[in-house]
Chains A and B, each alone.
Chain A
Amino acid sequence: MSCQKYSGWLTDAALGELRAEREPELLAHAMECDACREALSHARAVYEFVDRGVAALVAGEPSPHFATNLRRRIAQETELLQSPWMAWAPIVAGTLALAAVLAIMVAHRHVRSLPDPNVASAVAPIAALREAATASLASPQLSPRTVGKHGPERTTQVRPRTTALPEIIVPKGQLSAAAQLSAAIVTGRVDGNQLLAAQQESEKPLEMKPIEIPPMEIPVLDDATEKPANSIQF
């Protein structure tokens, strides 16, 4: 029991941190108890190892050239700082930093202005489509020729070209369909007026017709119908 009490003191004693009033008690016990005496001796040896080991690690002197080398490094640094072009160093550094920031901004803007590669190829055919459709719809003289009582006929009229048409971006899957429609309008196989009329028709609001509901006739019931045979009577 007493050995357990003293085992906690052994480390403190070995490190020289045991309270002064406890030390005589521990030493007295160690004189009587072989195990505690050996444990104390071992703990002291361990801490001696530790202290000597760490002391051996940090022991040593810098080389005799230490001060000379340091002075040389200081002189080199001073020389560098006092050279005439070093006065321009902050300005050059600032200019370079500013140029780098500007380059990054320009590059970022350029990247943002580029169209998506998936839809870029669709721009030209759709521009042609718009051009053809606009020309077709804007020419009133074409209407009687293209929309007659015998149905639509082919037209070979050259349409006026517009130079600044807005570009329409077509999703990738609809590119070939848009190109075919463009070609059909250009060659006259499809009439632009009909397309426009169909589009206008589809854009018309739907007419709402009120539904007339006739009033319901309520039949007059006699006593027999009012009280069915299977009704429960209380």
Chain B
Amino acid sequence: MDALAASFPGSEVSQDESLAREFEQRLADCPKLAYSVALGVMHNTAEAEDVAQEAMLRAYRSFHRLRDRERFRGWLVRMAFRLALDRIRAKGRRERHEYDATLATLSAQPEASVENLVASREFERQVAQALDALPEKLRIVMVLAAIEGYNTHEVAKLAGLPEGTVKSRLFLARKKLAESLQCLVKNTPVG
């Protein structure tokens, strides 16, 4: 923390310490949020962690404007989401083509049980692809709602949207995802 206190430039020492203390608190509870958002976009743990680090670093640089906890979390979520999207675009589409080839083999698989299907790596990839196909405004709401412990009210606060908008977007996102994954679930015994 001393290092953090010393690193806030151009302020009084007491103010630096106060900022450092607050940033330490954010560092204790916010990285998971940034990491989950980045993971929902990137689907790769190492890259998601890198994006979350970058988002936290930027948050640190602007921390004097983001001392309010809720404001900080909302800003961090949007920054992580934006950074992750930028990384994905920068990576290009080469990996995506490989991805599609794997999914084609999945579609040809015989019927599987629900539990096996959900647990399978291929199902995860299929969901990831369907999620990637969603418009950005639906995707961020869907990702935030999927993070454990976040209800519609929390998502609305993080996304900076009215609760009604979040509900309608969430409804639309799930409907679109269900349409995309329908073919996968159709042949699977349910119940």
Q: Which residues of A contact B (CB under 8 A)?
A: 11, 15, 17, 41-43, 45-47, 49-63, 66-67, 69-71, 73-75, 77-78, 81-82
Interface size class on chain B is: 35 or more
Please tell me if the beta carbons of B57 and A73 are within 8 angstroms of each other in the complex: yes
Known: A56-B118, A63-B49, A70-B27. A15 touches B171 (CB 8 A): yes
Residue numbers in B under 8 Å from A51 (CB-CB): 146, 174
CB-contact partner of A67 in B31, B57, B147, under 8 A: B31
Please tell me if the beta carbons of A75 and B43 are within 8 angstroms of each other in the complex: no
Please tell me if the beta carbons of B7 and A74 are within 8 angstroms of each other in the complex: yes
How many A-B contacts at CB < 8 Å in the complex?
A: 120
**In the bound complex, what is the Cα–Cα distance between A79 and B158 (angstroms)?**
33
Please tell me if the beta carbons of A62 and B49 are within 8 angstroms of each other in the complex: yes
6 contacts between A and B (CB under 8 A): A11-B175, A53-B177, A58-B36, A60-B39, A60-B45, A62-B49
**In the bound complex, what is the Cα–Cα distance between A49 and B131 (angstroms)?**
13
Majority-rule SS of B interface residues: helix
CB-contact partner of A53 in B4, B9, B49, B123, under 8 A: B123
CB-contact partner of B6 in A62, A66, A78, under 8 A: A78
Residues facing A in B27-82 (CB within 8 A) are 27-28, 31-32, 35-37, 39-40, 43, 45, 48-49, 52-53, 56-57, 60
**In the bound complex, what is the Cα–Cα distance between A43 and B4 (angstroms)?**
51
Please tell me if the beta carbons of A47 and B174 are within 8 angstroms of each other in the complex: yes
Whether a CB of chain A sits under 8 angstroms from the CB of B101 is no
Q: Return the 8 tightest CB-CB contacts between A and B, nearest first.
A: A53-B127, A78-B7, A45-B190, A54-B146, A62-B35, A58-B40, A58-B36, A50-B177
Whether a CB of chain A sits under 8 angstroms from the CB of B85 is no
Residue numbers in B under 8 Å from A53 (CB-CB): 118, 123-124, 126-127, 177, 181
Q: Which of A50, A63, A70, A75 has the most B CB atoms < 10 Å from its CB?
A: A50
A234 to chain B, nearest CB (A): 92
Known: A41-B190, A57-B124, A62-B35. A49 touches B185 (CB 8 A): yes
Whether a CB of chain A sits under 8 angstroms from the CB of B182 is yes
Whether a CB of chain A sits under 8 angstroms from the CB of B142 is yes
